[in-house]
């Protein structure tokens, strides 16, 4: 722990099983980590933190104003993560743009320096960044800038999911309805309450930050490989509210409903969840329905 004076906090000789925890690192202080999985709370006041080997964690808080004073952070070897705490009221266009720049830096080359007056950082050798937004931690890719196309290949899938050569995410079967409802934030029995009787299926979900008035749009296509009376179906869920997209009656016997464009506009700023579900209306273990999803865009 640092003091009011300029301190050298040296844990460079620690073993790989040790964990050094650095706090109150002030202006001019230097903290040196070692071989362990170290932790450091950054102040933004002009300290130097070199975390060494190990899978280290650094923590920063977004200040109230931009400053040319930076903490110099070197993650060193290992897989290091920075977590930035941000209040929802601080998520201005400038902050979103800076987070997008940081995300692009991570995708490009974390071996070079990332310098930000807004985040009070001069950072190198840090491989991952998380954002603690109003108390909940998200990967930086989920905290959306002004406009963003969601990377479908990175979305979690419950059941069977395939990323097609045409850029679509295809989901089909492999999960129970109870598991799907839990995965998508629905209460038990919600899908049956929409007038169908699903027995199994698959789902995917995107959790993203959106400003009030922003729109999330998407393209979808439902393929029904079964007799229409088996009542296979597809759904979209926004923030826990399910809506039917199509069923076997719409698609044909069997058939496809073709590509359809959909969108939602959110009324409040914050994290929002968009989920897609496809469900089999009869456990026939043969002709299962499929849902294709493409071009999920926030604007």
Tokens of 266: 């959110």
Based on the domain organization, do 131 and 219 belong to the same domain? Answer: no
The answer to whether residue 2 sits within a structural domain is no
Instruction: For residue range 12-21, list pLDDT tens digits in order.
Output: 998 888 899 9
Average pLDDT estimate for 261-278: 91
Tokens of 142: 């989920």
pLDDT tier for residue 227 given thresholds of 50, 70 and 90: low
Residue 90: phi, psi to the nearest 5? -90, -5
The answer to whether residue 3 sits within a structural domain is no
- Tell me the C-alpha distance between 191 and 202, whole Å: 13
pLDDT surpasses 80 at 127: yes
- Tell me the C-alpha distance between 7 and 10, whole Å: 9
pLDDT tier for residue 144 given thresholds of 50, 70 and 90: low
Based on the domain organization, do 91 and 47 belong to the same domain? Answer: yes
Based on the domain organization, do 105 and 126 belong to the same domain? Answer: yes
Inter-residue contact 205 to 156 (CB < 8 Å): yes
Instruction: For residue range 171-184, list pLDDT tens digits in order.
Output: 878 889 899 999 99
Q: Among the three residues 94, 118, 142, which one is the final residue of a domain in this structure? A: 142
Based on the domain organization, do 209 and 247 belong to the same domain? Answer: yes
What is the pLDDT at residue 56?
Answer: 92
pLDDT tier for residue 164 given thresholds of 50, 70 and 90: confident
The answer to whether residue 280 sits within a structural domain is yes
pLDDT tier for residue 267 given thresholds of 50, 70 and 90: very high
- Tell me the C-alpha distance between 214 and 171, whole Å: 27
The answer to whether residue 231 sits within a structural domain is yes
**Which range of residues forms the domain containing residue 266?**
148-298
Based on the domain organization, do 84 and 200 belong to the same domain? Answer: no
Inter-residue contact 26 to 5 (CB < 8 Å): no
pLDDT above 70 as % of the chain: 87
Average pLDDT estimate for 185-193: 87
What is the pLDDT at residue 283?
Answer: 56
Q: Among the three residues 142, 175, 196, which one is the final residue of a domain in this structure? A: 142
The answer to whether residue 192 sits within a structural domain is yes
pLDDT tier for residue 162 given thresholds of 50, 70 and 90: confident
What is the DSSP annotation of 88-114?
A: GGG--HHHHHHHHHHHHHHHH-TTS-E
The answer to whether residue 207 sits within a structural domain is yes
The answer to whether residue 1 sits within a structural domain is no
β-bridge mates for residue 185, sequence order: none
Based on the domain organization, do 101 and 166 belong to the same domain? Answer: no
CATH number at residue 223: 2.60.120
- Coil, strand or helix: which one is 21? strand
Based on the domain organization, do 100 and 164 belong to the same domain? Answer: no
Based on the domain organization, do 131 and 187 belong to the same domain? Answer: no
Convert 242-263 to b/e letters by CB count within 10 Å (16 or more is b): beebbbbebbeebebbeeeeee
The answer to whether residue 210 sits within a structural domain is yes
Q: How many domains does one find in the chain?
A: 2
Average pLDDT estimate for 237-251: 81
pLDDT tier for residue 276 given thresholds of 50, 70 and 90: very high
- Tell me the C-alpha distance between 196 and 222, whole Å: 16
Give the number of other CB atoms < 10 A from CB of residue 240.
12
pLDDT tier for residue 50 given thresholds of 50, 70 and 90: very high
Based on the domain organization, do 69 and 138 belong to the same domain? Answer: yes
> Does the pTM exceed 0.85?
no
Give the number of other CB atoms < 10 A from CB of residue 117.
14
Question: What does DSSP say about strands 48-50 and 290-298: parallel, antiparallel, or unpaired?
Answer: unpaired
């Amino acid at each position: 722990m640092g003091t009011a004076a300029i301190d050298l906090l040296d844990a460079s000789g620690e073993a790989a099983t040790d964990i050094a925890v650095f706090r109150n690192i002030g202006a001019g202080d230097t903290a040196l980590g070692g071989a362990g999985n170290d932790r450091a709370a950054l102040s933004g006041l002009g300290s130097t933190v070199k975390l060494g080997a190990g899978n280290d964690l650094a923590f920063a808080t977004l200040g109230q104003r931009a400053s040319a004073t930076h903490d110099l952070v070197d993650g060193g070897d290992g897989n290091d993560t920075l977590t930035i705490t941000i209040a929802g009221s601080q998520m201005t266009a400038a902050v979103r743009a800076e987070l997008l720049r940081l995300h692009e830096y991570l995708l490009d080359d974390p071996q070079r320096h990332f310098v930000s007056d807004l985040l009070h950082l001069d950072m190198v050798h840090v491989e991952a960044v998380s954002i603690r937004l109003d108390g909940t931690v998200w990967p930086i890719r989920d905290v959306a800038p002004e406009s963003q196309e969601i990377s479908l290949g990175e979305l979690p899938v419950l059941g069977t999911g395939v990323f097609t050569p045409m850029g679509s995410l295809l989901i089909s079967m492999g999960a129970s309805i109870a598991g799907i409802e839990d995965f998508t934030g629905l209460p038990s029995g919600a899908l049956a309450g929409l007038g169908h009787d699903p027995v199994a299926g698959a789902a995917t979900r995107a959790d993203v930050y959106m400003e009030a008035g922003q729109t999330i749009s998407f393209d979808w296509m439902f393929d029904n490989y079964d007799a229409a009376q088996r009542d296979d179906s597809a759904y979209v869920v926004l923030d826990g509210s399910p809506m039917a997209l199509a069923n076997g009656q719409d698609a044909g016997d069997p058939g496809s409903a073709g590509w359809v464009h959909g969108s939602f506009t959110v009324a409040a700023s914050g994290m929002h969840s968009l989920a897609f579900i496809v469900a089999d209306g009869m456990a026939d273990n043969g002709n299962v329905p499929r849902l294709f999803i493409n071009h999920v865009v926030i604007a």
